[in-house]
Structure formats: structure tokens, C-alpha cells
Structure 1
Amino acid sequence: MRKLILQSHISLDGFIADPAGKTDWILLGAAPEYVINLADRCDTILMGRIMSKGFLDYWEATFDNPPNGVPVPMAERMVKMRKIIFSRTLKEIKGRNVEVANGDLVATVNALKNEPGKELIVYGGANFSSQLIAAGLVDEYHLLINPVALGKGLPIFTDRRTFQLTESLTFKNGVIANTYLPK
């Protein structure tokens, strides 16, 4: 059975975005090799409808028109990887290697976990990630803790959870990448 991995940047006080959904506080260049190595373990990205437009637009534009003509290694992975977008309202979303799932979240994710292949990964979206966590579907958490406190914002944890820390890496800019398994 494949694992569902959740990778997310998170503030010191537990938010993945500010109250308006902005993530301009994230130190994106914090751990490129870490993020690429994690992506290489996976062959399918799961995301919610709200996050999908910005995600697809950004990575496809970066892949098609790399900055300074230099290819961005992560862009190729994000564009070529299978992406399943969960939506209750949309039947189709434009983008490369995109499928829309309208059915039951738990049943669909469990069916995906039973397919052959590499791991599945979720990159965020507060509401979507919260639903996966609440349903007990996430098997491994990779939280990139940024050295900033937002005071308020969008959490992904909506109830008490206990975890086992399996790895912790600290980067020069202060970001800490912690890997957790649910207990």
C-alpha cells in the first residue's frame, strides 16, 4: 500500500497561511534538495480545488518559461507528475496531467493508496489538508517550520494529534524540516 505524504511549510505558531491565505512569509529556497528528494519518492500529487489554480499556473509557467532560461528542476517534476484535484463543484480543470475527483474523499484516497506506484503527496491547501488529517489518511508528515510567527492564520490541525518525530534537519536560514509519523 502506498503512503500519503503531506509536505507543508508552517509557521512557528502552526499556520500554513495568513488569514487571507497568503504565504509570502515562506522561505521557499530553504531546502531545495530536501523538497526534490521528497518529490522523487512520489508519482501523484493530491490537492484541493482552491489551491490548484495557483499551483498549476505557477509550475507550468516556470516550466515553460524558466527564469533566465535556466530550467528549474522542481518545475519539471510538478508539471509531469500526475495531479488529482478534489472538487465538489468542478468536473474539469485545465492543466497538464490533471484529473478531477468528485467522489468521496476517503474512498478515493484509499483507492489511490491501493494502486501500484510510488507514494502520494499533498502540498497543502488548509481546508483540503485538514480534511485529510481529520480522516486519518495522512501516513507521513514533512513540516518545514519557518522562523516566523503569524499570530493568526489558516491551520491544518483542527484537533489534538500525537506524532512521533523520525527526522529533523535544520537549514542555514532557520527553517527546520521535521518528519513525523502519526501515533
Structure 2
Amino acid sequence: MRKLKLQMQISVDGFVAGPNGEEDWVIRGDDKHWQLINDLADSSDTILIGRKMAETFIPHFENFAKENPKFEFAQKMVNTPKVIFSKTLVAPFGSNTTFASGNLADEISQLKNQAGKDILVYGGASFVSSLLAGGHIDEMYLLVNPILIAKGMRIFDLLKNRQTLTLVSATPSYTGVTAMHYRFG
């Protein structure tokens, strides 16, 4: 069975975005973190994303200039099949996208039971909250930024029970960002 892996930026006080989705507080990590992000993308052949995040995520990578040093990674994001989860979308948009609007548990189960590499989740906050609350995420890669943003969007508030995590690795960077890799259970 394929694993569902979450990669997300988070502040020390537990926010994944500002009140209006702002990410201006995110500190970019160093080359070690970039390699982790790249390797994580390589270990996956499907990206799951909520509709709101898809509206910025997909055009961001599709509009990268060839001169950009991250162009190769951007092309990986463009070329990887993406499933946009939405109850309001009537058709997918962007390259290599489909959409899912059925029961979340059923859709995730179907995807996890397909052959292939693992599945990578990038966000947004409400979509990830639903995945966490449903117990669908197998591993988390949290890029913990050394900042307190005081208010914003959170992803753990829908959890009803305490959950035990196993720390797989913690990778600090010179920028102060620490990549925390956890498994559930």
C-alpha cells in the first residue's frame, strides 16, 4: 500500500499560514532541506492538493522561467500527476491534474491502493486538517520555522484524540528551520 506523506511549512506556534493564507513568514532552508524536498518529491508519483492551494500552487510552478535555478524542480511539479480535492470544482485546471469530489476516506483509500510510488500532500490548511482528522496521513515532514506568527491557519485543530508520533529524523539548517520527519504510531 502506498503511503500518504505530508510536507508542510509550519511556525513554532503551530500555524501553517497567516489569517489570509499569507506565507511571507516562511524562511527558506539550506541545501540540506532543498535536497530533502527534492528527494521527497522523487519518492512520490502523485500529489494531492486542496482546491484553494491549487489555485496558487499550480500556476506558480507552471510559470517558472527556464533561467530560474529551481526550474528543474518546477518541471517535476508540473509533470507529476496532481489530484485536486474540491466540492465546488467542476473541472480540473493546469497540467496533469484530475479532481476528486467524493467521500474523502473513499478517495484516499482508492489512491493508496493503486500501484505506484508514495503520495505527497502539499496542502492547504483545511484539506490537510481533514486528512489528519481522518487518520489518512502516514508520515509528516514539517519544516518548522523559527517564528511565532501569533494567528493564522492551523492543521491539528480537528483531531479528536491524542496521537503518538515517532520521530524519524530532525534536520536543522543554518537559517534556523528544522525539518522534522514523523511517522504516526
Query: Do both proteins adopt the same fold according to a TM-score greater than 0.5, normalized to the shorter chain?
Result: yes
Per-residue CA deviation, residues 98-129 of structure 1 (Å, 9 max, x unaligned), is: 00111111101110000000000101200000
> Which position in structure 2 is the counterpart of 1:4?
4
| Residue 83, structure 1, aligned to residue 77, structure 2 | no
**Partner residue of 2:99?**
100
Q: Which amino acid letter does the alignment assign opposite residue 5 of structure 2?
A: I
Q: What secondary structure is seen at the aligned counterpart in 1 of 2:25?
A: coil
What is the letter of the counterpart of residue 90 of structure 1?
L
Answer yes or no: is the 8 Å Cα contact 2:51–2:85 preserved in 1. yes
Determine the structure 1 residue equivalent to 2:180: 178
Question: What amino acid is the match of 2:15?
Answer: F
The runs of 5 or more residues in structure 1 that have no matched partner are: none
Cα 1:33–1:71 shift into 2, 3 Å: closer
Cα drift, residue 71 of structure 1: 5.6
Matched residue type, 1:142: Y
Q: Name the CA shift for 1:179/1:98 in 2 (closer, same or farther; >3 Å).
A: same
Distance in 2, matches of 1:88 and 1:102, equals 5
Letter in 2 for 1:21: G
Kindly state the Cα deviation for residue 73 of structure 1 after the two structures are TM-superposed: 2.4
Displacement after TM superposition at 1:161 (Å)? 3.0
TM-score (norm 1): 0.94
1:25: how far off?
A: 0.9
Equivalent residue for 2:40? Answer: 38
Q: Which residue of 1 aligns with 2:169?
A: 167
Aligned-partner SS, 1:55: helix
1:74 matches 2:73? yes
Aligned twin of 2:113: 114
Offset at residue 93 of structure 1 (A): 2.5
Match of 2:27 in 1: 27
Letter paired with 2:132: I
Question: What value does the CA root-mean-square deviation take over the aligned residues?
Answer: 1.3
Runs of 4+ in 1 over 6 A off after TM superposition: none
Q: Identity of paired residues, percent?
A: 42
Tell me which amino acid in the other structure corresponds to 1:13: D
Aligned partner of 1:126 in structure 2 is 125
Structure 2 residue runs without a partner (length 5+)? none
Provide the C-alpha distance between the structure 2 equivalents of 1:137 and 1:80, rounded to a whole number of angstroms.
Answer: 25
Match of 2:16 in 1: 16
Is contact 2:170-2:179 (8 Å) kept? yes
